[in-house]
Amino acid sequence: MEEDRIKRTGKKKGTKYSACEKAPSSSDITDIFNLERSPLFSRILTYRKENRRLPEIVPNQQIEDLKKLGREYIQRRIQEGNEVTIKEGLYKNMTGRVVHQSGIYVVVQINLRSIEILTRVPFFIVDNLDE
């Protein structure tokens, strides 16, 4: 498999491309654009060159800055005491109250008929109902 990668790309796994190298091959581009069908992606940044759509190169630092901004926004949006709905996982579509927040996780108290449960979930899979 590693030999196939070297034959196809001329690089070993983990080798980074520099901005001055040639554009990715058409099979690489097809693989990249297939990601757009994934629920984890909403859009891939592209530019047009010679009647082709090519993926845009975004520096890792800009990606990390965007992730940080997103986390800060969501963490400000979800506070202890907020009523939330869990969007994914075992407790999908259940509502509860945030009782604790730590890093990227929130602890949600869910009241079932005869018992109360606490679950620790990442803050990005809950929707704030108090907005």
pLDDT, mean over the chain? 77
Residue boundaries of the structural domains of the chain: 2-57, 79-128
Region 110-114: mean pLDDT is 91
CATH annotation of 79-128: 2.30.30.30
What letters, b where the CB count within 10 A reaches 16 and e where it falls short, cover 89-106? eebeebebbbeeeeeeeb
Give the β-pairing of 116-122 and 105-111: antiparallel
User: Is the pLDDT at 108 greater than 90, yes or no?
Assistant: yes
Residue range 15-50, pLDDT digits in tens: 554 444 455 566 666 776 676 676 666 667 777 788
